[in-house]
Amino acid sequence: MKNRILFGFALLGALAMTSCASDDTADINITDNSVVNNTTTNPGGGSTGGQTIFLSGTYTEDLELDANNTYKVNGSLIMAAGTTLRVPAGMTVEALAAGSDVYIAISVGAQIEAIGTADNPIVFTSDASAPAAGDWGGLILLGDAPVNSVSGTATSTSEIASLPYGGTDAADNSGTLRYVRVQYSGGSADGQSENNGISFYGVGNGTIVEYVQVFEGKDDGIEFFGGTVDVDFAAVIGAQDDSIDWTEGYTGTITNAYVKHGADHDKGIEADGFNTDIGNNSNPIYFSAPTVNNLTIIGLGSANSSEAVRLRAGTRAMFNNVVLEGYNEGFDLDTDPVVPADHPTGEGVVSGETQVTDITFIDINVKVKNDTGIMFTEADLISGDGNGTGTDFASWGAGWTVGN
Amino acid sequence: MKQKITFTIFLLFTFVLIGNAQNGSIVGKVQDKEENNAPLPFANISIKGTSKGTTSDLDGLYQIPEVAPGTYTLVFSFVGYKTQEVENVVVNPGKITNVDVILSVNAAALDAIVITATTRKVSEAATLLEQKKSKDIKQIIGAEELARKGVGDAAGAVSKISGVSRQEGSSNVYVRGMGDRYLNTTFNGLPLPSNNIEKKNISLGLFATDVIENVSISKAYSGKQYGDFAAGNVNINSKEYRGEGFIEAFTGSSINTNAINEDFVVSEGSGYFGDYARHNQNPFAVVLSHGIDPEAVSAPINTNFGIAGGKSWTFGNDSRLSVFGTVSFENGYEYRRGEATDFTTVEKKTFKDAEEFEYSTTTTAMGTVSYKINDDNKLKFNSLFINSSTNEVGYFGIDGTGRDRDAILNTDEGFYQMNAQFDQNQVYVNQLMGTHKSGKFEIDWAAGYNFVVAKQPDRRRITLENYQFALDNDPSTNPTFYSNIVFDNQRYFQDIDDSEFNGRLNLEYEANENLKLNFGYNARAKERNFENIRYGYDIIDSDFQVTDVNNFDAVFSPNNINLTSGDGIYEIRVINTIPGLSNVNRPGLPENTYKGNLDIFAGYVDAEIQTGKWLIVPGIRFEAFDQSIAYDVINLGNSGNATASANENFILPSLNIKYELNEEQNLRLAASRTVSLPEFKETAPFVYIDVTNRVGGNPDLLGSTNPNFINVSDVAYSDVLNLDLKYEWFFGKGEIFSVSAFAKRISDPVNRVVAFDATGTQRYFRTGETAEVYGLELEFRKNILKDADDNNLLGFGINTTLMHTEQDLYDVIQGTYSVSFSETTEQLQGASPFIVNADVSYSPTFGNYKPTGNLVFSYFADRIDALGSGQLGNIIEKSVPTLDFILKNSITENFEINFSVRNILNPDVKFIRETSGGDVLVTSTNGKGVSGYDRGRNIGLQLKYKF
């Protein structure tokens, strides 16, 4: 009676496994002695007569922040098309340290005018008394400049806030950011996405971005999703993911960029030619192809930091005057072919669309790691090794930046 | 393919051309003494000493045509009734002989009643007869056929019906290639809720055969059915009992050839019977109190046992009370080893070596009380409870070669994930129904209340980098946690409850013999509440060494929480905070919630017009549809807390025509307009994140008038036009040949597509203007050998569907979510161009020993699982053949030993992404956590005893 024997075994199995689920969940008592969330309003103190105004929701009219007041972003502050958000020099805008859903988004057709000075920069930061990376979302600018995730007038939807972006207006003007610092951003957007410090979604070159810093962000520092916006004088310090990231056909120019990694970090630059989730849907096909002038990236040493610059998914890039310091690898090029016969990232090097001119490697074990599937020599990519001086962050970053 | 068609057409002609001589026939009526001489349908009538015979119809009438002149003995029999012989029946050339009988229960035969049931719609011949008599196009499979084919549940049952295929490894059923969203499931004719957030239909696998009287699929619409009808309606009739009393018990064991050799593990916290005791605890307390590591179980041997019984009492004034109850438990262990890959246009994440352990349970309890007040009035109460659970533990990248293109330390190897989850679904169904006859009127009413609780408590997920260091026996190198975002290591909790009230009322008026009218009313009000929350483990030191990959409990113990800066290993993060509390190391609020409401009210009228050989049933239904979804979800900006709703009125005409070519052959035509409605999960913009997939809803499916949207119209439903033409020939007892052609046109069809939102989330879109479906179905069932008593010795059945589908695609869709297509047309998602089901049965008799052997085969061709968008290719579910062998051994009348081998061919279950560089093996949201695995063979023995 084989079946009886089997049945016997089955009963054994039943006994071996707990026959009934157990609970044993302890009562949790939380004694909260911290003051993390009980921040005082009006930290300026001096401006009596001012009041704390909470900002969130979708603004369909212009929003002009008054230097006499204190503002706190306590939700999604979204500027609708046709509106402008004006932030005066010297203002600190605090954001509720709630992690998710607290951010400032400038929709397509809206503008931000945040114009500070070296002496009076504008700061967007966490309201926590002991602020930490990931306390809030960050700054999101959206425009209708071209992105290669869609073709023609079609739009894509942003990773954060699900707002549309992308189009055909390369000269899109989303306003001005000048002497602006974004701190402690990078809160989770959902179970798989985090906010960056400053995100540019399809932002065009009519927008002025100069003297910006992202400090202590949980995700990427500055990320470009397509678009043509130019950025001058950008510093990313202590970003926990990639410091500068581009994808979806970004073609602007970055001049004077300074990256310094903290204990937790990913790449200095991580760059994709297109969004690999949905493909390169541009017609005719093009890849991200920015120009980066005067770049310094500083890691934690070749024993601790893996890659300074990773180029993948067909991105092109022209680098001029670069210093890379303290990584195992300087440049890592990946192929990411859509068709196995293609090697788009490597083809950019061979065709001369990806070049590095004047560079200095300090404490770098491998200058170039070529995983593109196409043979090229280091000399095909790099010229003027030893001539790079990077960016003069000490002089242009003086006064208005932190953490250097 | 072409050859097969020619062959069947040839068969058709041969059978039709068999000639007629000058014969007579026998007709008559069979009545049921136990039911006050009511007509007794499905009784067997045979002519002793010949192979001729028939079965009585719904009115108890029977006809045996083409009887050679002579004198015969007629034998009347019905399960549980005394067999009666009528001698000296004389048949004259060209004349009709009338023989009426009344059958009664034979006390001596009472034990035999117990066999499967004394019900009437259980036998294969009876179900075919009902099919033959039915007003519309319908296929039925009864308990007898289910038992013979070793079908364990309703999902297996419907997959024996032509045009139906089942998704391997799940209980998803496709009718004519159209999946879940185009089907409805009813229980005793009342709507049934789904047990799964991702599904509209309940998993048919939850209905064990011991609660099923029969299962039918209506592929043609009639006005009595809810208007949300595209491919078909599956109806499960619950078992009823009319005999004098019985108790039977069974127990069985089986092994899975893959699972039996593994050191089996399950997610901690659930019990052997699929129970879980922490549902009422705050998830934050669960996270702090309980660890992560799966726990070992010994001896993964599948077990099932159950008991069923029934009894009825007859009272003086023709009234009878019958009760039937059944309780059963079944569990199963499955082990899958394959790949898990997320490949879009490039490889995002791949685990070439991954394994999953799955322990599943089903507990079913059903009670039925029916009370026959008298011949004209009946009441029935039915209560069903199902607890189903799955406990899955997956280890991804166990060989240390896993890759993630966004890995931080190493993008070439060592990416690893562990996922342990437990899902528990509890379904309660309560129904009260009755029929009342008075003269020419008959009222049929029913009211139901359904309740579903579906929970996924405490899914645990861990992500590591450099896992190869855990395999290298070098204690100085270890994996580290991958903590790109704080939820790469997380605990997740999800709760859904559904409740529904529904009812029907039908008034039938028989104006005369040739005209019946039906007036009816249907209503259902359904509500769903959903919420989820997750806690992430944010690792403070990204260089923290994981020295034992089997002991995460030691790492994530409450002692290691970082309460003041730098003194711990991790912090617990939540997305939505409780106002005034931090998102760090504090309980939080639900991440996403939604509440869905569906209200449908409908009235209908139809007429059954019988003129000669024609039965014409025109009908019209007016239906008011009101659906809303109120959601509060993350990551949708200021649109995240909103409501989408739609309110429509439908006029749904239908026409069913049957033309009786002769006693055995019918021609049928059915035409109707129906609708296809969006589901809650398709409209709620909540995203479920799996190991390698993410899928979410889209409120635009309920329509939008936003002028900035492109190719998103103010349409909340799909219009469906249906046309069916069927020829059927019941050429012998339990034998059928049928061929049907069908066409459907679906406007604004819904497909699942990767949206353009920078994260690769699959969402639902109305992807084009129309989809068209054309197909041909064939069914052939034949007895090859019969014994002297006209019982089937050797028989076979085959059914097959050939189908062509095509839908147009918009070039661009711009709405709440956006997408674009590079193709302009595509096949319909889920449609297989070719489906076949076949079986052979052999049941010889050796004295009292009557074994039945069955070989059952099914196959579907490759079909689209998810539509590609942009540069992305489609995800294709690869064809799967299934072959089972089942041997039923009746040792004595009371005792059975059954033996089965399932999944004999043991094929690989695969999903692939089509790319311009060739096919890439990927996982699907419709499939399991791994792809390219085989399920192993299940070898089982079962003992069944009737007292």
Q: What is the pLDDT of residue B895?
A: 84
Residues 6+ apart with CB under 8 A from B464: B414, B415, B416, B417, B470, B479, B480, B481, B482, B546, B549
Using 50, 70 and 90 to split pLDDT, how confident is the model at B80? low
State mean pLDDT over B157-181: 68
A238/B388 Cα distance (integer angstroms): 49
Instruction: Name the range with the highest mean pLDDT among A27-31, A339-343, B825-829.
Output: B825-829
Determine, for residues B870 and A34 on separate chains, whether the beta-carbon distance falls below 8 Å.
Answer: no
Chain A and chain B share a number of CB contacts under 8 A equal to 280
Using 50, 70 and 90 to split pLDDT, how confident is the model at B119? very low
Search chain A and give the residue with CA nearest B576.
Answer: A100
Residues of chain B with C-beta less than 8 angstroms from the C-beta of A19 = 271-273
Q: What is the pLDDT of residue A165?
A: 94
Q: Smallest Cα–Cα separation from B525: which of B503, B545, B500, B493?
A: B500
pTM over 0.90: no
- Kindly list the structural domains of chain B, giving each domain's residue range(s) and its CATH number in brackets, ordered by start: 2-113 (2.60.40.1120), 246-946 (2.40.170.20)
Q: Is the pLDDT of residue B227 over 90?
A: yes
CA angle, corner B592, sides to B588 and B595, nearest 5? 125
Residue pLDDT, tens place only, B32-48: 776 666 778 788 888 88
With a CB-CB cutoff of 8 Å, which residues 543-572 of chain B face chain A?
565
Determine, for residues A188 and B871 on separate chains, whether the beta-carbon distance falls below 8 Å.
Answer: no
Q: Which residue ranges make up each domain of chain A? A: 49-396
Residues of chain B with C-beta less than 8 angstroms from the C-beta of A101 = 575-576, 634-635, 640
Q: What is the pLDDT of residue A226?
A: 96
B629/B644 Cα distance (integer angstroms): 5
Q: Which residue has the higher pLDDT, B50 or A176?
A: A176
Search chain A and give the residue with CA nearest B271.
Answer: A21
A232/A224 Cα distance (integer angstroms): 14
Residues of chain A with C-beta less than 8 angstroms from the C-beta of B303 = 7, 10-11, 13-14
DSSP character string of B110-138: HHHHTSS-S-SS-SHHHHHHHHHH-SS-E
Determine, for residues A25 and B289 on separate chains, whether the beta-carbon distance falls below 8 Å.
Answer: yes
Q: Which residue has the higher pLDDT, B574 or B164?
A: B574
**DSSP code of B156?**
H
Q: Is the pLDDT of residue B136 over 70?
A: no
Q: Which residue has the higher pLDDT, B129 or A397?
A: A397
Which run of H or of E encompasses B834? strand B834-842
Q: What is the pLDDT of residue B110?
A: 30
A222 and A267 Cβ atoms separated by less than 8 Å: no
Q: Which residue has the higher pLDDT, B10 or A145?
A: A145
Given its phi and psi angles, is residue A373 left (phi above 0), alpha (psi -120 to 50 degrees) or beta?
left
Instruction: Name the range with the highest mean pLDDT among A171-175, B684-688, B780-784.
Output: A171-175
Determine, for residues B581 and A32 on separate chains, whether the beta-carbon distance falls below 8 Å.
Answer: yes
Question: A12 φ, ψ to 5°?
Answer: -60, -45
Q: Which residue has the higher pLDDT, B657 or B67?
A: B657
Search chain B and give the residue with CA nearest A6.
Answer: B253
Residues of chain A with C-beta less than 8 angstroms from the C-beta of B817 = 157, 162
Using 50, 70 and 90 to split pLDDT, how confident is the model at B374? confident
B711 and B414 Cβ atoms separated by less than 8 Å: no
B188/B176 Cα distance (integer angstroms): 23
Name the residue type at position A40: T
Q: What is the pLDDT of residue B4?
A: 39
CA distance A313 to chain B (A): 8
Determine, for residues B871 and A219 on separate chains, whether the beta-carbon distance falls below 8 Å.
Answer: no
Q: Is the pLDDT of residue B91 over 60?
A: yes
Q: Which of B254, B270, B758 sits opposite A156 (nearest CB)?
A: B758
Which run of H or of E encompasses B374? strand B347-374
Q: Is the pLDDT of residue B20 over 50?
A: no
**Lowest mean pLDDT segment, chosen from A12-26, A220-234, B239-253, B377-391:** A12-26
Determine, for residues B301 and A36 on separate chains, whether the beta-carbon distance falls below 8 Å.
Answer: no
State mean pLDDT over B857-875: 89
Could you tell me what percent of chain A has a pLDDT over 90?
A: 70
Instruction: Name the range with the highest mean pLDDT among A50-54, A208-212, B814-818.
Output: A208-212
Using 50, 70 and 90 to split pLDDT, how confident is the model at B149? low
B920 and B910 Cβ atoms separated by less than 8 Å: no
Question: A343 φ, ψ to 5°?
Answer: -140, 65
**Lowest mean pLDDT segment, chosen from A365-379, B445-459, B759-773, B828-842:** B828-842
Q: What is the pLDDT of residue B877?
A: 92
- The token duo for B480 is 């580290």
Search chain B and give the residue with CA nearest A162.
Answer: B636
Q: Which of B302, B346, B485 sits opposite A194 (nearest CB)?
A: B485
Using 50, 70 and 90 to split pLDDT, how confident is the model at B5? very low
CA distance A151 to chain B (A): 9
Alpha helices in B17-46 (DSSP H): none
Q: Smallest Cα–Cα separation from B160: which of B794, B798, B725?
A: B798
State mean pLDDT over B106-114: 32
Chain A contact for B889 (CB, 8 A cutoff): no
Residues of chain A with C-beta less than 8 angstroms from the C-beta of B541 = 263
Residues of chain B with C-beta less than 8 angstroms from the C-beta of A312 = 405
Using 50, 70 and 90 to split pLDDT, how confident is the model at B453? very high
Residues 6+ apart with CB under 8 A from B16: none
Q: Is the pLDDT of residue B6 over 60?
A: no
Q: Is the pLDDT of residue A36 over 70?
A: no
B172 and B199 Cβ atoms separated by less than 8 Å: yes
CA distance B260 to chain A (A): 12
Residue pLDDT, tens place only, B180-194: 888 888 999 999 887
Determine, for residues B818 and A155 on separate chains, whether the beta-carbon distance falls below 8 Å.
Answer: yes
DSSP character string of B527-559: EEEEEEEEEEEEES-TT-B---TT--TTTTSGG
Residues of chain A with C-beta less than 8 angstroms from the C-beta of B869 = 278
Q: What is the pLDDT of residue B211?
A: 78
CA angle, corner A231, sides to A226 and A233, nearest 5? 150
Q: What is the pLDDT of residue A327?
A: 96
What is the b/e burial string over B451-477, where b = at least 16 CB atoms within 10 angstroms of the residue's CB? ebbbbbbbbbbbbbbbbbbbeeeeeee
Q: Is the pLDDT of residue B9 over 60?
A: no
Residues 6+ apart with CB under 8 A from B17: none
**Lowest mean pLDDT segment, chosen from A196-210, B96-110, B582-596:** B96-110
CA distance B805 to chain A (A): 25
Q: Which residue has the higher pLDDT, B944 or B906?
A: B906
Average pLDDT for chain A = 88
Search chain B and give the residue with CA nearest A275.
Answer: B758
With a CB-CB cutoff of 8 Å, which residues 437-456 of chain B face chain A?
none
Instruction: Look up the ipTM and state it.
Output: 0.87
Q: Tokens 């009526």 appear where?
A: B29
Average pLDDT for chain B = 85
Determine, for residues A190 and B635 on separate chains, whether the beta-carbon distance falls below 8 Å.
Answer: yes
A288 three-class SS:
coil
Q: Is the pLDDT of residue A47 over 70?
A: no
Residues of chain B with C-beta less than 8 angstroms from the C-beta of A277 = 344-345, 348, 754, 758-760
Residues of chain B with C-beta less than 8 angstroms from the C-beta of A6 = 253-255, 301, 941
Search chain A and give the residue with CA nearest B820.
Answer: A150
Q: Is the pLDDT of residue A287 over 90?
A: yes
Could you tell me what percent of chain B has a pLDDT over 90?
A: 48
Residue pLDDT, tens place only, B599-638: 999 999 999 998 988 999 999 999 999 999 999 998 888 8
**Lowest mean pLDDT segment, chosen from A230-244, B95-109, B353-367, B685-699:** B95-109
Q: What is the pLDDT of residue B158?
A: 67
Chain A contact for B271 (CB, 8 A cutoff): yes
- The token duo for B84 is 């009666």
Chain A contact for B275 (CB, 8 A cutoff): yes
Q: What is the pLDDT of residue B12?
A: 32
Q: Smallest Cα–Cα separation from B435: which of B507, B518, B521?
A: B507
The CATH number of domain A49-396, selected from 2.40.50, 3.40.50, 2.160.20, 2.60.120:
2.160.20
Q: Which of B275, B710, B917 sits opposite A337 (nearest CB)?
A: B917
**Lowest mean pLDDT segment, chosen from B3-7, B764-768, B926-930:** B3-7
Q: Is the pLDDT of residue B22 over 90?
A: no
Residues in chain B: 947
Residues of chain A with C-beta less than 8 angstroms from the C-beta of B269 = 21-22
